[in-house]
Structures are given as C-alpha cells and as structure tokens.
Structure 1
C-alpha cells in the first residue's frame, strides 16, 4: 500500500479506457488518485466511484491537456488539496490522454494534425511540466507516457499519420527527459500498447477486429487491465533502475 503518494492520471474517466483501468489498479495498490479528463463531470464521477470502491482519497477534475491555462488550473487545484491534507503529495503522473486519427493522409486537415499533436504530444509536455516540480522536491517520482506501437511501426493498427507522428514525439520526449532527470530520483518511461480493447477503436468492423487479432502472435488484443499492470510496475519502487524505457505491450505483434 502506498497511501503516502497520489497518482495523477489523464484521460481517466472513460468506462472502457486504459486511464480508468490504471486509476483503479493504482487505487487497489493503495495510491490516492487524481482523475483528469476533458469531461469534468465524468472525472468527478470516476473519482467518487474509486473512493467508494477502494477507500482511498480520489479527486476528479475537468481539464483540456492541450491547453496550458487549463492544465495550470488543475495543478493548482491538486496543490490546494495536498496543502489542505486531503491528498498526499503527487508521486506519479500517467500521461494517458490521447486521440487517434484513422484518416488517410490526403484526407487529413491541418486542424486535425494540430489537434492530434496537441492532445497526444503537447498534452504530455504540459501535464508533465506542471506536476514535475513537487516530485523533484521530494527526490522521488514516476512519469509514464502513453505512446503506441503505431509510433514504432508507422501505424498499421488503427491510427494513421498524425497519430503515429504524435506518439513518436512522445517517445523522444520520454527519452530526453529521462536523461535530463537521471540523478533526481524521478524516472520517465513510456508504454507502447498494440491493439487494446478500448473505445478508441469504436467504429472498426468485426472483420477489421478479426484481422487485427489474427496478426498478433498471442491471438487476441490486450485488455486494459493488462496495460494498467505494466504501468503500475513502472510506477513502483521496484522499477527504480528503469528510466528512458519503452515497454512494449503488444502480444508479440511488433518484435524488434
């Protein structure tokens, strides 16, 4: 149990999403939880359920991770909860919020390109920058960034060019920040899930789903709980010597 620390998880309000699975896993492990999501009402509801189910402090806040003012407001709200003693200090940030772009390249628009990069890459930058200082002050912290197998193999799962580009930017950000923060006690790692059973693939046909599964050596897509367990490990005490790591969670679909 780790009730002395809180975990901030973005994009964590969707019932079928990886973020909520991560929040629930952390709560089972005893962390206090901060749910950040573009849907503020859903974030509050998710936090209330987590608190009721697991008996840990939990706060839900609406935030647009691509907007600096919105992220800053969320950080100040969390800091106020910490100072009031309603939350322990933040010890982990999981940058999970993201959107995809299953659009052929010549059909993309500049607005789509910017939005996908803003949410996936700029959001990771803004949230990390906002919540990093307290972890540096403590000399302990864990940052886990959500990338994708699409960043490594150039799409081929569900997202296309803007999504793959944004998730590749997340990998570069992770490695560079891990190197910079090396001696501070704060580790920075990334996970690259392959196909996962989440709402991000809503709209895909049964035929597409069967084709995706057939190309995975283990013969199926991942569950959100399987991704959450890997993220929980990267935020544990036992992972202290792992930083700048890209952890593949793809059932063998991308071997390299």
Structure 2
C-alpha cells in the first residue's frame, strides 16, 4: 500500500538515497530542502519537493501543510536534515555550536512534533531519525555535531515510550562514514585514516543506509521501537 512519506534534507546524500528507495517501492514521497527543488536523480519519480528551513517553525508548519494537502498526512517521517560546522572547541563560536544543534536536534523536534500530531490521531506511523556514529563515539573537532546527534537518541527513546501506545514506532539509524558530497571533501590522508578504523574496510554506500530506513518503516519492523541501528561497518561497535 502506498504511504505518504516525508524525508527532510532529501535533496542530496543519504536523504536523497532514502527518498529514492521509498519512491522505487511505490510510496508517495515528499522531500524538504532549503531550495525546494527536485534533484535530477528524483526527476523520473513523482516526488514532491517543498522548501523548508527546519530552524524556522513557521516554515516547518507550512511545509507539512503542503505535504498533507498534496499527498495526505505523513505516515512515515525520516528526519535527516542536518549540517556540520567542524572546528576544535577553543575555536568554536557560540553560533557554530547553537546553529548545528538548532538544525540537527531542535529542527528534528520541530518536524516530529508537527508530523506526529496526525499520526497520533490515526494511531499508526513510523518515525526514523538519522543520527551518526559520531554521536555515540565522539570525535575531535565535532563537539557540536556529536552533541546534536547524541541528542537524537534521547529524543527518539523518549518518544518511543510516549508514542508506543498509539502504534507509532520511533527508531534511530546511526550511519558511519558514507560516500557522499560531505565526505568527498576530506583529504585522501584523512579518508585512508577513517577506512583503516572501519572493520569492513570501506565507506558505506548511501543506499545501504536507505535500505535500513525502509526496513524500520516496514510492517516487518512493527515490533522494533526505541532502537539505535548502526550502519557503520563496525566502526562504533560497543557503543
């Protein structure tokens, strides 16, 4: 059965792969991005692209209203939108810290709060938050990003308890290093250093993250909630 799916930050990288996976499965898919444009990779699908800055509650409300009007209330929400502003703590400005947390963590809160209202009334829904191995292990130069991604785990587990009685599951996918535009800017030396720490010895492909998200959104995963699923090649094992 075709469901109404919303992927925030669905215009590139992991979010794009997730949107494509749902579209290929026959779901009605909407994506948000600041530009509001349909990426070329999604042009062959009937994907709804909506402009939305998740740091603005009014824009979140307007975007969800548009999605609801055009493809129905959101039944599957994938909160993926995020940014990085990496630097060492002593160089990190307050704006560096708060802007990352406001986008990655508070932005997710805004989207989930708005989308979950109709899920609760319908007594069904799937919510998947995209965190990061960095939120579990920490890494130098990413205190802001790690804090925001760790916060998603607490948010998801609290909501899993709150929404569970209404048939809504809330889970977290924790990717490791993925071959995207974000990691492509790393130096060759840094990439070799990262791969050497990954037991499987390679980066993940975006569609490997997408397939995990689709599973958590499926009927087969109906009894999984409050879980943190690592898709990191073993990089964060034990956390």
Shorter-chain TM-score: what band? over 0.9
Alignment partner of 1:26 out of 22, 41, 58: 22
Alignment partner of 1:190 out of 155, 163, 172: 172
Q: Distance in 2 between matches of 1:132 and 1:19?
A: 20
- Which residue does the alignment assign to 1:129? 113
4+ residue runs over 2 A deviation: none
- TM-score if structure 2 supplies the norm length? 0.95
Alignment partner of 1:9 out of 7, 10, 14: 7
- Please give the residue correspondences for 1:22-171 in structure 2 after superposition, counting only pairs within 5 Å: 22-40=18-36, 42=37, 45-46=38-39, 50=42, 53-54=44-45, 57-81=46-70, 87-155=71-139, 160-171=142-153
Unaligned stretches of 5+ residues in structure 1: 82-86
Q: Distance in 2 between matches of 1:155 and 1:29?
A: 36
| Residue aligned with 2:213, SS | helix
Q: Distance in 1 between matches of 2:73 and 2:104?
A: 25
The reply on whether 1:176 has 2:158 as its aligned counterpart is yes
- Can you list the C-alpha shifts for 1:152-194, whole angstroms capped at 9, x where unaligned? 11126xx610000011111110000111111111100001111
Q: Distance in 1 between matches of 2:113 and 2:54?
A: 12
The two structures, once aligned, show a CA RMSD in angstroms of 1.4
Aligned residues: 238
| Residue aligned with 1:124, SS | helix
